[in-house]
Structure formats: C-alpha cells, structure tokens
C-alpha cells in the first residue's frame, strides 16, 4: 500500500533523468472531478493524457492508442478496476498500473498488487503523491530498458566500445565527419565493406550525440529470420502468431530515447522495408497483432556493405527508404587504403585479446608488419582481429599462411578487386573443405555474407 510521505524538494514531475514527455497516460475514473483534477495535473508534464469514465470507454481507447501507464480507479461501473487489471495482465498488457480508491482494506491492496498493480493510492491524495508514484513507474521502465540492453551486450550482440583506431588521413577525416554529424538528429547511413568497423562508427556517433546517456541497440538485420524480424523490431502481442505465448516488446522499445543501429539494412525483405519507412516517417509503430500504435523516439543509424543505390536500381531496395536513410551517408574506408593504421590496430587488439584470452602478448617484428601492410585484407579490420586472435592461440603468427594468401591475392595485374576477393574467398572455402562457418570465421565476415557472395558467383558450397 502506498505510504504517505512528505513531498520532495522540487517538482517530482520534472525529473531530469526521466523524459516525462515521452510517456502516455490513461486515467480511468467515474468521478468527473477526479478525472479533471488528474488531467490538469498531468497534461503539462506527459506527452499524452487521455481520460475515460468506465472500462468500456478505456478499452476502446486502448484498442487504438498506446499507453505506458494507467491510473485506474477500483470502483468503476460495470466492471471493477481490479477485475480489469487481471484481464489486462492475462492479455499481455505490460505497462504500469496505479490503482486509486476511496475505500480499501489490506485484503484489497494485496489482491491488487498480486494482480500486477504497480502502486496503490488512497483518495484523497495530493498531486505530489501521484507524481511520485508515476516517477517510480517511469524509473522502473527506464531501468528495464537499460538492463535489456546490457544483457544483449553481455550476450555478444554488441562490440567492445574502444573507438576508432588509427591516425591515417582517412581516419582523421572520418572522425571529423562523425563529430559534426553526431550533434544532429538526422538519420545516418554508413557504407563500407564487411569488417571495416561500421558498428564502431555507429557507436562513436551515439557516444558523441546528445543521446549518449540513452541506450544504443545494435541489430543485425541479416541474422534474423525474415518471418521474425517485424516482431523483433516492433514487438508483438500475446497470440499474434503461433508460439506467441506472451506479449513482447521490440527493439525499438528498448532503444527509446537512444539510438537503434540497423546493420546490413540491405537484407531487410521488401515488405519490412515498407513498414520501416512508415515508422521513420510517422514516428509511430504497431506491434504485430496489435491495434494500437506506439510512439517511438529513436535515432536511426543504418549500415550496409552493399551498394544500396545499385540495389534500388535492381528493385531489391525501396528508393523512398533509401532517400529517407541516406540523409547523411558516410563511407567507412577499407583497411587496404589505410595500411599505416595496422601497427596501431595490432597494438590495440593485442592488448584487448591478451586480456580476454589470458595469454601473453606476442612480439611482432618489422618484417611481419611489412607483410601485413602488403596484404589486401578483404575482411578488413575484423579479419585482422581474427588473425591476431588465431596467432595468440597458436603461440605464433602463421606467416606462411599469410604469405600464401597474399600471393593468392596478387594474381594477374589486370584482375579487378571483385575478382581478387572472389578468388580469395573460394580458396579459403576450399582450404576449409567447404565448411562455410569456418571459412567465414577465417575471413572475418558473417556466414550469411559468405553465402550471399557465393550465390552471386554461382558457387556451390556445403
């Protein structure tokens, strides 16, 4: 049961760490005076405030609008607030519910809290009491988002945050551009080959932006099955499809107030591209199976290792979505054009990986650095990192393998870069006995990227 406490200094509805205007509230009370009192108190503070006199009217509102919080009277005509609370939880509503009532005993309070009420307040109450209860609800929701993002990081969904390594001219230019773009709210499209560090650049944009204290949520669009990606991004309600036993929030929800990084955006199915475009334009989304639209406040950073303009021309990517994403497009330079950064990267990854693996660092002579600089690195920085990790595990640098790969890459002088890449990938596949997972690991690219390239070349692999 809510305990009456003295009001804290300042307005609880103006908490600096919480963005109250991002939240929507539904007030359900059959007393017109109470509805009016709460509406006047909350409208200047919250993004949206709606009122209803009974469960039927509230249900109609919830069918078309999203609410983060319900302020619900227990004594309502037709159906009590507690009865409706149990129904809401049974149907997957995960928002906070504050119950208010003029008549209650301890048993009623226990029943309400068991039904999933976030707080329980006795009438009459002061404005600061309801604001403090709301503040606690919003704070819990904020922590739940942060904990979800942290769990994804620990599960390996994100990369280490160590910034962009290298002092070459291309990297200096990239840093300057990222610093300039970071302060703007505009959508950004990062382009570049696999392994160049697009996610690192996206994290840098986020960390230098006004949203730096909010979540950064990376999503690899190529790693999610096409039939699940809408639910993964937008969430779903209970029973929306076979296997949806519970309602679930999407990644847009967990990125609220922060940045959503859509990697390999070119792999999105066309139907999903249409839905994403609508969200970008209207800043609202509809969870799968829901009739309610949910407001979203996220900055979108997208990335692709493919030529999206060419994909548009081929009919594989929507032109309107391409223009919506490419408000600012930034090309991440490949490692072969900034080979002078290899010593810095070697030092960076050696320190990082020796700590992670619990191994002693390896000395690397000048002759090795010369070979590394001469190598083409089709897997870019990711391939270099994998090479260093493999070297630490083996206890020495596999120089012969590196030489063989460099010679294989050399080929006739008139070969295009695409043909050099093709030869290298197919040779690696052959050396791995056709094992795609192992070949992708050695190359420093994803298995899906490897499969796509082989399909483009008509190569048959197991």
Check if the beta carbon of residue 92 is closer than 8 Å to that of residue 237.
yes
On the question of a cis peptide bond just before residue 124, with omega within 30 degrees of 0, the verdict is yes
Determine the pLDDT at residue 112.
75
Tell me the CA distances in angstroms from 164 to 174, 196, 372, one per residue in order. Answer: 9, 10, 19
Distance CA 375, CA 75 (A): 75
State the pLDDT confidence band at 160, using cuts at 50, 70 and 90.
very low
Percentage helix, strand, coil, to 5, in the chain? 50, 15, 35
pLDDT, mean of residues 147-169:
61
Residues contacting 416, CB < 8 A, separation 6+: none
State the pLDDT confidence band at 103, using cuts at 50, 70 and 90.
confident
Check if the beta carbon of residue 265 is closer than 8 Å to that of residue 303.
yes
Examine the pLDDT at 239 and tell me if it is beyond 80: no
Nearest to 192 by CA among 260, 270, 261, 264: 264
Examine the pLDDT at 119 and tell me if it is beyond 60: yes
pLDDT in tens, 274-329: 999 999 998 888 888 877 788 888 999 999 998 888 899 989 999 999 999 999 99
Check if the beta carbon of residue 21 is closer than 8 Å to that of residue 47.
yes
Helix (H) or strand (E) holding 329: strand 328-331
Examine the pLDDT at 64 and tell me if it is beyond 80: no
pLDDT in tens, 338-348: 888 998 898 88
Same fold, 12-142 and 169-331: yes
- Top CATH class of 12-142 equals alpha beta
- Look up the CATH architecture of domain 169-331: 3-Layer(aba) Sandwich (3.40)
Examine the pLDDT at 168 and tell me if it is beyond 80: yes
Query: Whole-number mean pLDDT of the chain?
Result: 81
Distance CA 224, CA 347 (A): 34
Examine the pLDDT at 7 and tell me if it is beyond 50: no
pLDDT in tens, 187-204: 999 999 988 999 999 999
Determine the pLDDT at residue 138.
85
Examine the pLDDT at 159 and tell me if it is beyond 60: no
Examine the pLDDT at 377 and tell me if it is beyond 70: yes
Examine the pLDDT at 161 and tell me if it is beyond 70: no
pLDDT in tens, 414-452: 555 566 677 777 777 776 767 787 777 767 677 777 888
Distance CA 170, CA 336 (A): 11
Examine the pLDDT at 11 and tell me if it is beyond 60: no
| 3-class state of residue 457 by DSSP | helix
Determine the pLDDT at residue 6.
32
Determine the pLDDT at residue 98.
92
What ranges do the domains of the chain cover?
A: 12-142, 169-331, 340-457
Determine the pLDDT at residue 4.
34
Residues contacting 299, CB < 8 A, separation 6+: 185, 187, 206, 209, 211, 258, 259, 260
Put residue 264 in one of left, alpha, beta given phi > 0 → left and psi -120 to 50 → alpha. left
Give alpha helix (H) positions in 235-269. 251-254
Supply 110's token pair. 């226990």
| 3-class state of residue 259 by DSSP | strand
């Amino acid at each position: 049961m809510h305990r009456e406490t003295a009001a804290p200094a300042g307005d609880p509805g103006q908490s600096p760490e919480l963005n109250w205007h991002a939240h929507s509230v539904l007030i359900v009370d059959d007393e017109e005076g109470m509805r009016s009192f709460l509406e006047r108190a909350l409208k200047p503070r919250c993004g949206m405030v709606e009122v209803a006199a009974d469960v039927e009217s509230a249900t109609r509102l919830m069918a078309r609008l999203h609410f983060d919080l319900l302020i619900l009277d227990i004594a309502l005509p037709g159906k009590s607030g507690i009865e409706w609370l149990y129904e809401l939880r049974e149907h997957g509503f995960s928002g906070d519910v504050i119950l208010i009532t003029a008549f209650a005993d301890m048993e009623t309070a226990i029943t309400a809290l068991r039904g999933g009420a976030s707080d329980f307040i006795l009438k009459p109450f002061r404005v600061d009491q309801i604001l403090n209860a709301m503040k606690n609800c919003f704070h819990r929701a904020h922590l739940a988002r942060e904990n979800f993002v942290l769990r994804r990081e620990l599960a390996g969904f994100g990369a280490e945050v160590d910034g962009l390594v290298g002092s070459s001219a291309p990297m200096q230019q990239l840093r300057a551009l990222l610093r300039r773009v970071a302060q703007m709210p505009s959508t950004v499209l990062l382009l570049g080959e696999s392994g160049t560090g697009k996610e690192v650049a996206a994290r840098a944009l986020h960390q230098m932006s006004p949203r730096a204290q909010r979540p950064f949520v990376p999503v690899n669009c190529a790693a999610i099955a096409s039939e699940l990606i809408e639910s993964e991004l937008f969430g779903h309600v209970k029973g929306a499809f076979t296997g949806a036993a519970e309602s679930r929030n999407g990644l847009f929800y967990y990125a609220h107030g922060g940045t959503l990084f859509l990697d390999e955006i070119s792999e999105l199915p066309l139907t999903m591209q249409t839905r994403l475009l609508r969200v970008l334009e209207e800043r609202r989304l509809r969870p799968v199976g829901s009739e309610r639209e949910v407001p979203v406040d996220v900055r979108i950073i997208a990335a692709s290792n493919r030529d999206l303009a060419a994909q548009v021309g081929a009919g594989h990517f929507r032109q309107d979505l391409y223009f919506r994403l490419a408000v600012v497009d930034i090309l991440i330079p490949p490692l072969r054009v900034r080979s002078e950064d290899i010593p810095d990267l070697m030092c960076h990854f050696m320190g990082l990986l020796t700590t992670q693996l619990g191994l002693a660092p390896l000395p690397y002579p000048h002759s090795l650095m010369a070979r590394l600089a001469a190598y083409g690195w089709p897997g870019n920085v990711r391939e270099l990192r994998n090479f260093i990790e493999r070297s630490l595990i083996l206890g020495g640098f596999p120089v012969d393998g590196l030489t063989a790969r460099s010679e294989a890459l050399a080929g006739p002088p008139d070969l295009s870069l695409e043909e050099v890449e093709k030869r290298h990938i197919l040779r690696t596949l052959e050396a791995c006995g056709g094992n795609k997972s192992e070949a992708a690991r050695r190359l420093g690219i994803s298995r899906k990227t490897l499969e796509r390239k082989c399909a483009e070349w008509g190569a048959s692999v197991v």
